[in-house]
Amino acid sequence: MKTKTYLKASAREIKQSKGRFIAIVLIILLGTLLFVGVKTAGPVMQKTMDHYVEKGNLSDLQIISTGGLTEQDVTRAEKIPDAQLETGKQFYYSSSSKNEVVQVFSYKKSNKQNLLEVVDGHLPKNKDELVLDEKAKSLGYKIGETYTIDSDNVKKKDYQIVGFVRSPLFINNLERGFANVGNGTIDYFVYLPETEFNTDIQSVIYLTFKNVSSFDTYSKEYRDKMAQNQKSVEKLFQDRPAARLTELREQAKESLQPEKEKVSAGQEQISLAQSQLAAARAQLEQQRSMLEQLPEVQRTVATNELATQEAQLAEQEKQVAEQQEKLNDAQAQITENEEKINRLEKPTYRFQERSDNVGFQEFGDLAERIAAIANVFPVFFFFIAALITFTTMTRMVEENRREIGTLKALGYTKFEIAKKYAIYASLASGLGIILGTVLGTNLLPRIIFELSNERYDIGSAVIFYDWSPILQAAVAFFIAAFGAAMIVLFKDLRERPAALLQPKAPKPGKRILLEYITPLWSRLSFNQKISYRNLFRYKSRMFMAIVGIAGCAGLMVAGVGLKDSLSSVSDKQFGPITNYQAIVTLDGETENSETKAKEQLESDPKITDLLAVNMQTIELRQQGQATQSVTMIIPETSKGLSPFIHLISLKGRNMELNDSGIVLTQKAAELFDVSEGDRLSLYTDDQKELSVTVKAIAQNYLGNFVYMSPAYYQKVSGNEASTNAYLVQADPMSKKQENALSEKLLGTNAVTNTSFVSKQMETQEESLANLDSIVVIFVVLSGLLAFIVLYNLTNINISERVRELSTIKVLGFFDKEVTMYIVRENIIFTLFGIVGGFGIGYVLTDFILQQA
């Protein structure tokens, strides 16, 4: 009977306090939704990518050589343990008629790696068929049309388009990379049957490893194991550049042999002809010397015959001389080619992991940024929600003191009395947690993914329940709701029923600080004085209100601040630090490439200044820290760098390179916990270690860089830094002008790539635009939480002071005055909370940016 009565009372409590119950559920729902949703968003993005690369069987490692890959390379790769191997051919093709740059790949039906996803049509079935990148659709290509490849690399020109595809090699759907032909920017890719390629030399070896197949593609375990795999592959191929150079020289010499034999045979013929002509001329001279001995009539005839023979001989000598000149030219060409063969350098073998795929790495970085934000933003949001839940449950129990006293007087045990509040707290927290978990897992990660997925072709989000944040949220909110109710309840249950049945004595009024400031206090109205005294009379209520509002305001400020900070990254990097408009990379295999490129650049009226530099991609390694690739820049002269790159210390002063150490950018220094004066090891692409001193740390917002003077580079490496690139300053150029300059430079064969800063800025802005949308979600949810917090605190405030409000209304206060009696306090709370929120938001923004 007691239990039935008691359960009715529990149901009545929920029914009578619908507003409070719904508010608690909504606060817990919002807290759980944001905490679970954002915490799950990063893993969902990574899981989706993992599913995509697994479905397309994206290669774990690619081996690429500037000298091509032969059977010896393939045979060596087959010795790699636990690896599946495939080969492929590719080349860049520039269509002058359509002004397009295309990357042409070989297609084999037996391919198991980098599987193509058919968007429309079908894969090639016959040798005269090919498929295009789906991006080519937007350029007007259609299935059934003839596609022309006017290149010596393929067996014929015309092929039929039979489909449009996606490739896991191209995850970013806006960019297709760079080429050393045309304007330097690849527009789309083509897959053509391998039998149509004119060469037996492979372009790339694709590898997948069994020992990483069970790891998530972005996991530390995958990265660590792949680092070991790559190191073993590099060791296996370490002698191949020298061997391949020997092969290339031998092949080139063999190709020259027929020409040399032809020239040699020609020279023999000419030498024989010259001998015969010399004999003929000697005979002619002998005949001429005998003319005087002949009678006059015979002499006249003989003279005419000699003149004819002289003309014929002269003509023959002229022809032989022309042939000799041609042979001399051919011999000079052979000599020049032999010199070129002798100047050939070792081909570079590159080993590219998935992380070297731009789209793959961009997407991973975005997921990591969201995960970094999730470590701060939702946690603070979660804390505010839990705090308000705790406050609400505490107030509810305190309001029911008389009911608790009545139940205790009627003989209900502490357990039975507590059961009502346990059910209330469990029901409110359970509903909020369940709804928040379901919505947070299925809604927020999907929205964040879709907002982020505009640049990437990886299919739909793979949603799953991440139990770690779910359990964290459930435990925290259950403790906040259930724990608050039990703490206050058992405190009240220690009192006797008679004490509980009596209303709790109101707190005595006390003079506040404002009352001692007579000029100010005397000018306040009666209502204002009451409001200020009430504020300090209920200090815990004031504290909770200000903290709750300040927390929500701080979250909103942090969200807006994060959005503004991210959008200003490009403005802080390009101009104040990076003060060049393009990087022109030279072709080291072309003779006088530096001079040719410089002449072309200086002839362009838009170019204002150049800086010759040596640029290398190097690695920073440290025990317990993931290897980081950074760009090392060595200018031709130390003082020449400052007009192009402004080195600014962390304290804001300008710096210049010196010959006693390097300048390292801020993010890399933080990652490796490096300070000024520390020693650091740099590893070049041929794994040579350079031990350097960090002389200074410079501000930088995009990428990681090492700057070094040419004298210091020579000191630590033992070699001079040769020019392999130009930093270019130019007047503003349109996209068309940039393409024209790039095409002109690539046409000299002295340049392999031209990278414009404007393209980097576009890419950066597009990438950060994804985060902008996510930040807007945080701001909206923070605003919604602020509304619910204010509603809940106002609800508590009014319910606790019903008698007080009734009294002042009986005293003659109008409805508007009674309303303002409460609202005035809320306005003051809100103002104090907003001011506090600015400070909290600033700190949060700075912390999140450091993490991201």
Residues 672-681: contacts with CB under 8 Å, at least 24 apart: 672/620, 672/622, 672/625, 672/628, 680/620, 681/620, 681/621
| Secondary structure E strands in 510-636 | 582-586, 607-622, 625-635
* pLDDT at 17 > cutoff 70: yes
The pLDDT tens digits for 689-707 are 888 999 999 998 888 899 9
Q: Is 291 helix (H, G, I), strand (E, B) or coil?
A: helix
Cα–Cα distances (Å) from 553 to 26, 41, 436, 776, 835, in that order, read 18, 24, 22, 14, 9
Give residue 4's region: left, alpha or beta (phi > 0; psi -120 to 50): alpha
* pLDDT at 397 > cutoff 70: yes
Q: Which residues pair with 692 in a beta bridge?
A: 680
Confidence of residue 463 (pLDDT cuts 50, 70, 90): very high
* pLDDT at 311 > cutoff 80: no
The pLDDT tens digits for 789-842 are 777 777 777 777 788 888 888 888 888 888 888 888 888 888 888 998 898 888
Cα–Cα distances (Å) from 118 to 160, 162, 233, 359, 453, in that order, read 16, 10, 33, 20, 19
Confidence of residue 624 (pLDDT cuts 50, 70, 90): low
Give the relative orientation of helices 377-399 and 401-409 as an angle to the nearest 10 degrees: 50
The pLDDT tens digits for 91-132 are 988 876 677 889 999 999 999 999 999 999 999 999 999 999
Average pLDDT, the chain: 83
Per-residue pLDDT, 506: 64
Distance, in Å, from the CA atom of 709 to the CA atom of 440, rounded to the nearest integer, reads: 52
* pLDDT at 291 > cutoff 70: no
Query: Contact, 16 vs 396, CB < 8 A?
Result: no
User: What is the distance, to the nearest Å, from the Cα of residue 638 to the centroid of all Cα atoms in its chain?
Assistant: 31
**DSSP code of 538?**
S
Q: Where are the alpha helices (DSSP H) in 64-215?
A: 71-77
What DSSP string runs through 108-121? -TT--SS--EEEEE
Q: Provide the token pair at 447.
A: 């929205």
Mean pLDDT, residues 474-484: 80
**DSSP code of 345?**
P
Distance, in Å, from the CA atom of 115 to the CA atom of 123, rounded to the nearest integer, reads: 11
The CB-side HSE value for 106 (13 A sphere, CA atoms) comes to 25
User: What backbone phi and psi angles, to 5 degrees, belong to 99?
Assistant: 55, 50
Per-residue pLDDT, 711: 92
Query: Contact, 121 vs 134, CB < 8 A?
Result: no
> What letter represents residue 173's amino acid?
N
- Name the burial class of residue 352, with classes exposed (0-12), middle (13-18) and buried (19+) by CB atoms within 10 angstroms of its CB: middle
- Name the burial class of residue 349, with classes exposed (0-12), middle (13-18) and buried (19+) by CB atoms within 10 angstroms of its CB: buried
Q: Which residues pair with 87 in a beta bridge?
A: 205
Distance, in Å, from the CA atom of 209 to the CA atom of 221, rounded to the nearest integer, reads: 13
What DSSP string runs through 232-289? HHHHHTTTHHHHHHHHHHHHHHHHHHHHHHHHHHHHHHHHHHHHHHHHHHHHHHHHHH
Which residues, other chains included, contact 493 with Cβ-Cβ below 8 Å and sequence gap of 6+? 404, 408, 414, 417, 418
> What letter represents residue 317's amino acid?
E
> What letter represents residue 471's amino acid?
L
Q: Tokens 């997925």 label which residue?
A: 453
**DSSP code of 825?**
H
Mean pLDDT, residues 423-442: 87
> Which stretch of DSSP H or E encloses residue 746?
helix 735-746
Number of separate helices (H) and strands (E) present in the chain: 25, 22
Distance, in Å, from the CA atom of 364 to the CA atom of 718, rounded to the nearest integer, reads: 38
Confidence of residue 138 (pLDDT cuts 50, 70, 90): confident
Cα–Cα distances (Å) from 773 to 33, 778, 801, in that order, read 17, 9, 43
Burial string for 213-252 (b: 16+ CB within 10 Å, else e) reads eebebbeeebbebbeebbeebeeebeebbebbeebbeeee
**Residue among 208, 203, 179, 193 at smallest CA distance from 88:** 203
Confidence of residue 370 (pLDDT cuts 50, 70, 90): confident
Per-residue pLDDT, 9: 66
- Name the burial class of residue 334, with classes exposed (0-12), middle (13-18) and buried (19+) by CB atoms within 10 angstroms of its CB: middle
| Secondary structure E strands in 266-397 | 349-353
The pLDDT tens digits for 230-247 are 989 989 998 888 888 888
Distance, in Å, from the CA atom of 561 to the CA atom of 845, rounded to the nearest integer, reads: 6
Distance, in Å, from the CA atom of 605 to the CA atom of 74, rounded to the nearest integer, reads: 48
Mean pLDDT, residues 567-584: 85
* pLDDT at 160 > cutoff 90: yes
Mean pLDDT, residues 604-626: 81
pLDDT more than 90, % of the chain: 21
Distance, in Å, from the CA atom of 648 to the CA atom of 625, rounded to the nearest integer, reads: 26
**Residue among 550, 540, 549 at smallest CA distance from 395:** 540
Confidence of residue 622 (pLDDT cuts 50, 70, 90): low
The pLDDT tens digits for 38-60 are 889 889 999 999 999 999 999 99
Mean pLDDT, residues 743-763: 81
Distance, in Å, from the CA atom of 363 to the CA atom of 371, rounded to the nearest integer, reads: 12
Most confident of 197-206, 357-366, 675-684: 197-206
* pLDDT at 597 > cutoff 90: no
Q: How many CB atoms lie within 10 A of CB 158?
A: 10
| Secondary structure E strands in 347-455 | 349-353
Mean pLDDT, residues 714-727: 88
Query: Contact, 255 vs 338, CB < 8 A?
Result: no
Largest CA distance in the chain: 171
Query: Contact, 808 vs 821, CB < 8 A?
Result: yes
Q: Is 133 helix (H, G, I), strand (E, B) or coil?
A: strand
Per-residue pLDDT, 414: 77
Q: Which one is predicted more confidently, 458 or 504?
A: 458
Q: Tokens 């193509």 label which residue?
A: 116
